[in-house]
Structure 1
Amino acid sequence: MQILKKAEDAFVGITLLVATGLLFVNIILRYFFAANTTWAEEFIRYAMIWIAFIGSSICFRRGIHVGVDLLLNSLKAKGKRLLNVYINILAIIFMGFLVKFGVDLVMFSMSTGQITPSLKIKLYWIYLAIPLGAALSILHIAINTIQIIRNQNIKSERS
């Protein structure tokens, strides 16, 4: 799990750094030199898609996904555990659908041979972010759920 954690963090960090740098260079080229790279905007768009889906799995791993704590804070310890398990089961079901339909989208894109307009790469590489990010999210949610059921203190990686 440590290797996966480092790989996820490194991928999102490096991709965000490259996309930001490329955006900065593209802006400088456009406004100061009247030059523009047609592929940069497309690359940045696809990079942000990958960052969003892999980043969502990082959020589930760290326990910092969007949630409403009002109800959780009003419950006692056992009620919190049960509600957290219930929420995690719903999240796993949702992510399971995302994996299934994401794989369907990847397979459809592979069968049609679609390519991106500027970069000329197969579109299924972009769509692959959906099932991969959802599968990683399922893994992290399942680990979190097992920790809750075992009544372990769930460590937060926020620090």
Structure 2
Amino acid sequence: MAWCILEKWYKVINFLTWVLMGSMCLLIGFQIINRFALHLPAPWSEEFCRYNFVWLTMVASAKATHDRQHLAVDIMPYLLERRPLLKNAVKLFAQILALFFFAVIFKQTVFFCLNSIGTSCLTVRMPILYVYIILPVGFLSMFLFELKNTSVTIKNLSKKY
């Protein structure tokens, strides 16, 4: 049941990735036309593009965690190809390490967001919390997706051995 909710959340993240990428392209295009064709700089579009990039980074990182597309050092699985038990144990260790990392960073980003309450953005005068709130949401999503991936790895380990 919980994994079903997580898959629905993944669909939201997938849609949000496309929306953020499209809006970033539109903002950059607007900024280029304004600055070079009309000679009217729009500093708010540059700032929104910067904040959009923060959101896109966190949302796409959560998507990559779900899809197991994050960067990894591939030399260990290659060297352990003939020893599948050890290969899966190393994979499980890396996943547990990632879970620990996501949990620690999630906790720190919650504190970071709480400390940013009352601060506003430079140009657009909106609360900076609207920008930073994606940090704990993104790391919590990464944690939950990695937890699901780890449970699949453990299930596969118990089936094979």
TM-score, structure 2 normalization? 0.89
Q: Distance in 2 between the 1:54 and 1:32 partners? A: 33
Structural RMSD (CA): 1.1
Q: Distance in 2 between the 1:30 and 1:62 partners? A: 38
Q: From 88, 91, 94, give the equivalent of 1:84.
A: 91
Matched, 1:37 2:45: no
Residue in 2 aligned with 1:20? 25
User: What secondary structure sits across from 1:13 in the alignment?
Assistant: helix
May I ask how many residue pairs the two structures share in their alignment?
A: 150
Q: Distance in 2 between the 1:83 and 1:2 partners? A: 26
Flag structure 1 segments of 5+ consecutive residues without an equivalent: 153-159
Amino acid at match of 1:49: V
Q: Distance in 2 between the 1:143 and 1:79 partners? A: 21
Runs of 4+ with >4 A deviation: none
Q: Distance in 2 between the 1:51 and 1:128 partners? A: 13
Q: From 8, 11, 14, give the equivalent of 1:9.
A: 14
Amino acid at match of 1:23: I
Residue in 1 aligned with 2:55? 50
User: What secondary structure sits across from 2:88 in the alignment?
Assistant: helix
Give 1:2 deviation, angstroms: 3.0
User: What secondary structure sits across from 2:70 in the alignment?
Assistant: coil
Percent sequence identity is: 23
Flag structure 2 segments of 5+ consecutive residues without an equivalent: 1-5
TM-score, structure 1 normalization? 0.90
